[in-house]
A = this chain, B = another copy of it.
Amino acid sequence: MSYPAVARAAMEGLDGSLIRTVFAEGAGLEDVIPLWFGEPDVVTPGFIREAAKQGLDAGRTFYNSNFGIDELRAAIAQYQSGLGRSVRFDGVCVTASGVNAIMLACQALLDPGDRVVLPEPFWPNLAGISRVLGAEVATVPLRLRGAAWSPAWSVDLDELLAALTPGTRMVMLNAPANPTGWMLSRAEQEVLLAHGRRLGIWILADDVYERVVFDQPAAPAFLDIAHADDRLVSINSFSKSWAMTGWRLGWINAPSTLMPALGKISEFNTSCTPPFVQLAGIAALQQGEPFIAATMARYRAMRDLACARLGSIPGVSVPVPGGAMYSFFAVEGCTDSLALARSLLHGAHVGLAPGRAFGPAGEGCLRLCFAVAEDRLQAACDRIADHLAHTGGR
């Protein structure tokens, strides 16, 4: 008898990333404009990198608390207070990225078989993390609605509430959303919070794009309105707001009663994050507002450019996102977004993410990350327009 060295069967049912499928195909191609990943195209600001270098020079290379160094936890609480949120120092758990924060929270909260509800299209890792831990994922579709000249992604709140049945363990709400830029209004948050309280459903608020918004300093957050003992975990990250994708630094805001479990879970996952990386995080929080303002001015211009250019292509429906850094647009007649993304890659040398990567409700769409320099974005839009004119989006 022979035993092949393969993973548990449950792994087979977990999708690999379709974005990475397209990315892998582009490996050998020259002159590709890569807009497939959600990553700012600039190096982390110098003052943040300098803070890490100073930490290295100072010998900050040792283990530290499962919850992060006190200086960073305090800086996070102070930063969030500056956004008008009442955040407790001892309710902050530093994590090794936003995705790691979600993994830790889910390990603390989800039992196998638990029901998790997720608006769709969704960031694939939200479903992946739930499934790898054995939870059952139910989705509620967002819909592209509104007049042809101003479509918008929106959720039917009654439909979402109906999906949050008694016994549901968690709803994951990523708003501003990747990939759609969909946002939750304060009124919708109030209703969802009340519903969660009534039924004991945890809200996992993935707030990593809260500062990547175009018409306000920060997106409305559940943290603004929740009580300290509500079943709410807020996920955050340094990646998007401060161009720190590669640093793998994030945090969780959680009720104090959840912290002992998060401490154990942190210990079992990465135990802590590098002290010199955490010092860089402090610099970002305390000196980063001018960078965020400049970045958002740039993103706003790129968003407007992308929406105008893509919107002028016949058969393309382009909602204008209120947050995040993506245009998630529908192509008339497209029934296989993976094939279309491949066709655009090979035929037009533009790297986009296929909508289906974000769940079946994303089929027929493509995601373009507009966090790039203007000339690159213009060139990409030229290529997409040319390609769709010739192929008709199939």
- Pick the residue among B49, B112, B243, B261 that contacts A134 (CB under 8 A): B112
Q: Smallest CB–CB gap between A165 and chain B, Å? A: 15
Question: Is A10 located at the chain interface by the 8 A CB criterion?
Answer: yes
* Complex: A258 Cα to B7 Cα, angstroms: 6
Do B7 and A270 touch across chains, with their CB atoms under 8 A apart?
A: no
Q: Mark A57-75, 1 if CB is under 8 A from B, else 0.
A: 1011111100000000000
Interface residues of A in 10-59 (CB under 8 A from B): 10-11, 14, 16-17, 37, 39, 43-44, 49, 52-53, 56-57, 59
Q: Smallest CB–CB gap between A20 and chain B, Å? A: 8
- Pick the residue among B7, B245, B261 that contacts A7 (CB under 8 A): B261
Question: Is A109 located at the chain interface by the 8 A CB criterion?
Answer: yes
Q: Smallest CB–CB gap between A91 and chain B, Å? A: 10
* List of B residues within 8 angstroms of A270 by Cβ: 96-97, 99-100, 248, 270
- Pick the residue among B57, B103, B111, B260 that contacts A269 (CB under 8 A): B103
Question: Is A128 located at the chain interface by the 8 A CB criterion?
Answer: yes
Question: Is A322 located at the chain interface by the 8 A CB criterion?
Answer: no
- Pick the residue among B43, B229, B276 that contacts A5 (CB under 8 A): B229
Do B245 and A62 touch across chains, with their CB atoms under 8 A apart?
A: yes
* List of B residues within 8 angstroms of A230 by Cβ: 5
* Complex: A151 Cα to B245 Cα, angstroms: 51
Interface residues of A in 225-244 (CB under 8 A from B): 229-232, 243-244
Do B273 and A248 touch across chains, with their CB atoms under 8 A apart?
A: yes
Q: Smallest CB–CB gap between A35 and chain B, Å? A: 14
Question: Is A8 located at the chain interface by the 8 A CB criterion?
Answer: yes
Do B57 and A49 touch across chains, with their CB atoms under 8 A apart?
A: yes
* Complex: A212 Cα to B63 Cα, angstroms: 19
Quickly give the copy total for this chain.
Answer: 2
* List of B residues within 8 angstroms of A5 by Cβ: 229-232, 254-255, 257-258
* List of B residues within 8 angstroms of A9 by Cβ: 111
* List of B residues within 8 angstroms of A99 by Cβ: 267-271
Do A272 and B258 touch across chains, with their CB atoms under 8 A apart?
A: no
Question: Is A146 located at the chain interface by the 8 A CB criterion?
Answer: no
* Complex: A134 Cα to B111 Cα, angstroms: 9
* List of B residues within 8 angstroms of A60 by Cβ: 246
* Complex: A197 Cα to B6 Cα, angstroms: 14
* List of B residues within 8 angstroms of A243 by Cβ: 61
Question: Is A4 located at the chain interface by the 8 A CB criterion?
Answer: yes
- Pick the residue among B7, B49, B112 that contacts A109 (CB under 8 A): B7
Interface residues of A in 203-254 (CB under 8 A from B): 229-232, 243-248, 254
* List of B residues within 8 angstroms of A1 by Cβ: 200
Q: Smallest CB–CB gap between A258 and chain B, Å? A: 6
* Complex: A261 Cα to B112 Cα, angstroms: 19
Question: Is A149 located at the chain interface by the 8 A CB criterion?
Answer: no
* List of B residues within 8 angstroms of A254 by Cβ: 5
Question: Is A129 located at the chain interface by the 8 A CB criterion?
Answer: yes
- Pick the residue among B37, B128, B257 that contacts A63 (CB under 8 A): B37
Question: Is A107 located at the chain interface by the 8 A CB criterion?
Answer: yes
- Pick the residue among B16, B43, B108, B231 that contacts A11 (CB under 8 A): B108
Do A43 and B17 touch across chains, with their CB atoms under 8 A apart?
A: no
Do B96 and A8 touch across chains, with their CB atoms under 8 A apart?
A: no
Q: Smallest CB–CB gap between A190 and chain B, Å? A: 18
Q: Smallest CB–CB gap between A164 and chain B, Å? A: 14
Interface residues of A in 248-296 (CB under 8 A from B): 248, 254-255, 257-258, 260-265, 267-277
Sample 13 A-B pairs with CB under 8 A, ordered by A number: A3-B200, A3-B231, A6-B258, A7-B108, A7-B262, A8-B111, A52-B56, A53-B53, A97-B271, A99-B268, A125-B267, A270-B270, A277-B277
By Cβ-Cβ distance, the 5 closest A-B pairs, closest first, are A3-B200, A7-B261, A43-B59, A5-B255, A44-B61
